[in-house]
Structure 1
Amino acid sequence: MASDECELLCLDLPHAEDVRLRVVAEERARTAAERAKALADPTRLRIASALQAGDELCVCDLAWVCGASKNLVSHHVRQLRIAGLAASRRDGKLVMYRLTDTGTTLLATLIAPTAVQGE
Structure 2
Amino acid sequence: MEHEEGEWHEIRVLDTRVQQGQAFALTEDVRALLLRSAPTVAISVAEAEEALATVESATALLRKIRERIREGSNRIGDALFRMHEFQDAGDLKGARQEMRHVLTVEVVPHYREIAEGELAKLNKLS
TM-score, scaled to structure 1: 0.33
TM-score, scaled to structure 2: 0.32
Greater strand proportion: 1
Greater helix proportion: 2
